Amino acid sequence: MSAIAFPIPDQSILARREEIVAGLGRLVAPDALITAEDERRPYETDALTAYRRLPMAVVLPSTTEEVAAVLKFCGEQGVPVVPRGAGTSLAGGAIPQEDAVVIGVSKMSRILQIDYANRTAKVQAGVTNLAVTGEVSVEGFFYAPDPSSQLACSIGGNIGMNSGGAHCLKYGVTTNNVLGVTMVMLDGSIVEIGGAHLDSAGYDVLGLINGSEGQLGIITEATVRILRAAEGARPVLFGFPTSEQAGAAVAAIIGAGIIPVAMEFMDKPAIEICEAFAHAGYPMDVEALLIIEVEGSDIEMDAQLARIVTIAREHGVKTVKESKSAMEAAAIWKGRKSAFGATGRIADYICMDGTIPTGQLPYVLRRMDEIVKGYGLRVANVFHAGDGNLHPLILYNCNDPVEAQKAEDAGMDILKLCVEVGGCLTGEHGVGIEKRDLMSFQFNPEDLHQQMRVRAVFDQSWLLNPAKVFPLEGRVAA
Amino acid sequence: MTLHIPTTEAQACAIVKSVIDSTTPLSITGGNTRAGLGRPTQTQSTLSSAGLTGITLYEPAEMVIGARAGTPLAEVQKTLADRGQMLPFEPMDHRALLGTQGEPTIGAVAAGNISGPRRINAGAARDSLIGIRLVNGRGEAIKSGGRVMKNVTGLDLVKLVAGSHGTLGFLTEVIFRVLPAPERIVTLVWRGLSDEAAVALLCTALGSPYEPFAAAHLPAGIGAEQPRTLLRLENFSDSIDYRSRELIALLAAHGVPDMIEGEASAGLWLDVRDARFFAGTEEAVWRLSVAPTDGPKATAAIAARVPGARWFYDWGGGLVWLAVPAGEDAAASAVRTAIRPLGGHATLVRAPVAIRAAVPVFEPLPEPLMRVTAGIKTSFDPAGIFEPGRMYAGV
């Protein structure tokens, strides 16, 4: 695929490469600077692997002060900077460009402090999402946002993309779970925002930073909220004859005052793909599957499930299957969380990420099917039903350039559909390069200019992750 | 003094455009019940949201409500209650504390990021605010966010505007995420605990699997002679029975609590939410946000320097409501000095105009953040016409 444009590399920067690399070498330890082509190669893309650009150099600092020195240098030299967490962005948020220096936080992976009384954890930005929960689970606590890539993705990247996950229906997304950050600004100044307390002193700059895709500065540390886990959790499978019935059941459950901790939807193609991979015991004779997770004590879960089952029966549920053991529960989640990987075993795919008002679900499912069929392709749907966050997986063959282009076009049509029904271009993956050129479909010029003027407060010269989020044309600096 | 009351967003844009050239500063008001929040400003004109009313969107099954900014908060709450739902963050009503009249509006809840006791569990107003429309200082109508709760499309200007007290623009419409109202609410009340013991109890409870939705401590003399420590549970009735039993057992070392429900419970939490213990007095009132276990440390440091200081705790100890003799500076230096080593921030919520003009009302910001703050203000409001100086001098 080649539809998404990158800025033309600045020849004057490329011409100074040796000088710039030498300058970086004076700022960080030798093993923190990667210059050889074969060693830079792993940093040329992220999880949007169809696009690659080899960066000029990669720096992997170990301290906030090193990040500050490198950023200050790049700012003074006018060199673009691409911040990188674990490189798992599906939207191309961490893809570099030829005239840029990648600053990766992977070496900053220490958990600094756990405070159970105040329910906070202070961590470095390169700590993986799952490592936070791993550290505090011994005391029965967890970190709530749980993107499917949580084994690999970093807290810094999660903040950059305001990541979500299956359980944010109840616990919120990253921005609702971060209390403070240490951020390095482009001029090298180090700023502490928030802390272990709630809410901000002045403007909510912390809220602005969450989801800013590395365009305001580089996060080096974060204080996140940790929560005490419920006494137990139980996922239950509900198989429905039609997607409409499943969607109506979701609405009725919420309407009855029940907020399950997760409500995940899979359509028939997704069920087949995931079952073949995870052997989770998903029913194969249904058109739509809901994984609904309840939590609490055994008695509480029984009571809540009874309410949910009653509602599901009123909406024609065909199969109800409770997990009877921790192993069965794990298998149910394994199937869902490996949906992307399992799909990758049968075909190449693009994973889209848009959000719709849940009431539009039956219409959107039908239209998506029409759109993808119109391009002669197939789609498998998994999504977070409680909050309307869709993840259609468009299947194609990446060795066929015509088909690859069709898949990308179908994806763009689906995102436009999300906006048309009142939703948005991205629920939890971010804009990156992938959706950059659709921003003007969701926002008018005044909306975008206001965002860009705020961005310019932090980076007047468009050096921080410059090819992302905003269309390349029509940029304003202040 | 000119009062502008636009009835459409387009009119609001035209009004703002008409004052840009003369850089006539505008006060922004809704129901005018929180006019005393912040630093006093010098403005000749007022832009009111009173003409922008009505609920624009309500989808109970999608848990989302939208309303024009001037819609009375009470109307929003009634609409939600009729369908068994509520705003998750229990917004405070400032009328009792500030001695004001009028109807609080939903726009002001967003502009002030106004939350209440439930914030400790369910997040602040800013966490539930998912979409806004506002007129910026160029007279342009802009939108950010929308009606879906998961949305990471572009910079989150919604958060910036929440809590900006009208300094970034004139809100015309706000969209909030809502939640089902609980079937049953009970409050457990322990008596006789010291501040430290009470906060330890609240922290243990908040770190338990039994999910308190509100956690407060009222020291001796705040509403009663004896200290009271409060935990509120909200849930289905059978869960309440189970969880209260488990919590009482978990916290047995602190004594046996009373359990109250209905009016008695609701009234007590209204007193906490609205800081009514300090209503009608001459004292200056501060609101401190610290890590919960730092709450008693902050009050001890302040008490040592400010005779007559009184306080109570919400948010498990992390929100300190503090009343001090107004004096000449509302004990500002004692309060700020107490907070500084702990981290956190203090806001002077109630004080005579002369004091609010003389001492910083919002926590002073360190240099890189102050520069960013001024830059953000300029990016929305280049001519500086919205509530100039309301939060910080020159912003």
pLDDT by 10-residue block (mean), chain A, 478 residues? 84 97 96 97 93 97 98 98 96 96 98 98 98 97 93 96 90 96 98 95 96 98 97 94 91 88 92 88 93 92 94 96 85 82 86 91 90 95 89 92 93 96 94 94 96 97 96 80
Is it the case that residue B301 has pLDDT exceeding 80?
A: yes
Give a yes or no: residue B12 inside a domain.
Answer: no
CATH number for the domain harbouring residue B335: 3.30.70.250
Q: Which strand (E) or helix (H) includes residue A220?
A: strand A218-225
Q: What is the pLDDT of residue A1?
A: 46
- Topology of the domain covering A347-420: Alpha-Beta Plaits (3.30.70)
3.10.20.810, 3.90.470.20, 3.40.50.2300, 3.30.43.10: which CATH number matches A11-104?
Answer: 3.30.43.10
Domain membership of residue B138 as a residue range: 47-180
ipTM of the modeled complex: 0.97
Q: Same domain for B258 and B148?
A: no
All structural domains of chain A with their residue ranges: 11-104, 111-228, 233-339, 347-420
Query: pLDDT-based confidence at B315, cuts 50/70/90?
Result: very high
CB atoms within 10 A of CB B129: 24
- Identify which of B167, B160, B109, B159 has the alpha carbon closest to the alpha carbon of residue B136: B167
For the residues of A395-457, what is the DSSP string, one character each? EE-TT-HHHHHHHHHHHHHHHHHHHHTT-BS-SSS--TTTTGGGHHHHS-HHHHHHHHHHHHH
Q: What's the total number of domains in chain B?
A: 3
- Closest-CA distance of chain A to residue B143, Å: 6
Looking at residue A2, what is its pLDDT?
Answer: 56
Cα(B151)–Cα(B123) distance, integer angstroms = 17
Nearest-CA distance B42 → chain A (Å): 20
Which of A254, A450, A470 faces B380 most closely, judged by CB atoms? A450
| Of B238, B273, B308, the domain-final residue | B273
Contact A176 B344 (CB under 8 A): no
- % of chain B exceeding 70 in pLDDT: 100
Residues B121 and B197 both lie in one domain: no
Q: How far is A443 from chain B (nearest CA, A)?
A: 8
Which residues numbered 272-311 in A keep a CB inside 8 Å of some CB on B?
Answer: 296-297, 299-300, 303-304
- Residue range B318-329: average pLDDT? 97
Domain assignment present for residue B262? The answer is: yes
Q: What does the mean pLDDT of chain B come to? A: 96
- Point out the residue among A203, A228, A299 whose CB comes nearest to the CB of B207: A228
Q: Specify if B325 maps to a domain.
A: yes
CA distances from B358 to B135, B305, B392 (A): 30, 20, 12
Do residues B166 and B232 share a domain? no
CB contact set of B361 (below 8 Å; sequence gap of 6+): B38, B39, B347, B348, B351, B391
Domain of residue B170, CATH code: 3.30.465.10
Amino acid B279: pLDDT: 98
Q: Give the end of a domain, one of B257, B273, B289.
A: B273
**Which pTM was predicted?**
0.96
Q: Which of A231, A297, A426 sits opposite B152 (nearest CB)?
A: A426
B255 shares its domain with B306: no
Domain end marker among B180, B203, B235? B180
3-state SS assignment for residue A303? helix
CATH 3.50.50.60 for domain A233-339, yes or no, is: no
Task: Tell me the three state secondary structure of residue B289.
Answer: strand
Of B181, B209, B343, Cβ closest to residue A230: B209
pLDDT, one tens digit per residue, over B15-61 is: 999 999 887 899 999 999 998 899 999 888 999 999 999 999 999 98
3-state class (DSSP) for residue A370: helix
CATH at residue B233: 3.30.70.2190
Helices (H), B123-194: 125-128, 157-161
Which residues 107-146 of B have a C-beta within 8 angstroms of A? 113, 115, 119-120, 123-124, 126-127, 136, 140-144, 146
**Together in a domain, B68 and B161:** yes
Residues 12-71 of A with CB under 8 A from B: none
B90 φψ region: left (φ > 0), alpha (ψ -120 to 50), beta (else)? left
Q: Is A111-228 in the same CATH topology as A11-104?
A: no
- Give me the long-range contacts of A438-446 (CB less than 8 A, separation at least 24): A438/A412, A439/A469, A439/A470, A439/A471, A439/B153, A439/B154, A440/A471, A441/A415, A441/A416, A442/B153, A442/B154, A443/B143, A443/B153, A443/B154, A445/A474, A446/B140, A446/B141, A446/B142
Q: Please state the rounded mean pLDDT for residues B245-261.
A: 98
- Show the beta-strand stretches assigned E in A341-400: 348-351, 354-355, 378-384, 389-396
Q: Is B388 a member of any domain?
A: no
pLDDT of residue A290: 96
CATH topology of domain A111-228: 3.30.465
Verify that B150 and B255 share a domain, yes or no. Answer: no
Looking at the domain assignment, is residue B155 inside a domain? yes
- Say if residue B223 is in the same domain as residue B302: no
Q: How far apart are CA A100 and CA A80, in angstroms?
A: 5
- Judged by DSSP in three states, A301 sits in helix
Whether residue A122 contacts residue A113, with contact meaning beta carbons closer than 8 Å, is answered with yes
On whether any CB of chain B is under 8 Å from the CB of A212, the answer is: yes
Is there a domain that residue B377 lies in? no
**Tokens matching residue B395:** 């912003």
**B191 shares contact with chain A (CB less than 8 Å):** no
